[in-house]
């Protein structure tokens, strides 16, 4: 009688399973790294697009104002953060030859809880006009307007962030733009 057994020994089985687990781990790790790289890339595109769009909106509003910083800008602190307030050009008076301005302020303010940058209108007394508030940008973590009346420009620093550091897909972009209104009154 022969006592021959066909098949793998226990050691051969353990080695085969170890090799299989190593290969599966390499494949899953590769998939996870690809996902993470894709998520970071997607988030980077989101914050780049968002910050460009927000700054374009602010720039378009500011170019409709004056380089006369003394009369048309009202730096204002609201809710612990700075608010950029300014009046837009309405036209020119033929009788005086001077610019005329809207009877309200355009205001940009960051909600630090929701990370939304809001654009709203306020009357000359500072009261928000009903129905005028809308979110210009989301994922905005810092908004810092600086009015330099000596140089005749407004510098805006805007940081947008998307993703999560825990998931390792965080993307942050900080942009600085200097805007010089060209209307002279």
Indicate whether 133 belongs to any domain: yes
65: domain range? 40-179
pLDDT digits (tens, 9 = 90+) for 134-163: 899 989 999 988 877 777 788 899 999 998
Which pLDDT tens digit goes with each residue over 40-97?
888 899 999 999 999 999 888 887 776 555 555 554 434 445 788 888 777 777 888 7
Residue 104 CA to residue 52 CA, distance in Å, equals: 26
Q: Do the domain assignments include residue 127?
A: yes
How distant is the alpha carbon of residue 48 from its chain centre?
Answer: 8
- Whole-model pTM: value is 0.70
Report yes or no: 143 and 117 within 8 Å, Cβ to Cβ.
yes
Least confidently predicted of 2-11, 73-82, 119-128, 152-161:
73-82
- Residue at 168 is within a domain: yes
Number of domains observed in the structure of the chain: 1
């Amino acid at each position: 009688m022969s006592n021959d057994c066909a098949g793998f020994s226990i050691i051969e089985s353990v080695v085969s399973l170890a090799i299989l687990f190593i290969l599966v781990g390499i494949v899953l790790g590769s998939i996870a790294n690809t996902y993470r790289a894709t998520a970071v890339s997607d988030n980077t595109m989101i914050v780049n697009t968002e910050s460009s769009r927000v700054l374009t909106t602010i720039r378009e509003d500011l170019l409709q104002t004056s380089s006369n910083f003394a009369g048309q800008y009202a730096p204002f602190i609201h809710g612990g953060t700075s608010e950029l307030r300014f009046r837009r050009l309405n036209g020119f008076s033929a009788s005086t030859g001077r610019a005329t301005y809207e009877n309200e302020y355009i205001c940009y303010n960051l909600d630090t809880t929701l990370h939304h940058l809001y654009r709203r209108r306020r009357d000359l007394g500072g009261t928000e006009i009903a129905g005028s508030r809308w979110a210009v940008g989301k994922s905005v973590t810092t908004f810092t307007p600086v009015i330099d009346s000596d140089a005749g420009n407004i510098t805006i620093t805007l940081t947008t962030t998307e993703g999560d550091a825990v998931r390792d897909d965080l993307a942050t972009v900080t942009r600085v733009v200097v805007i010089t209104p060209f209307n002279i009154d």
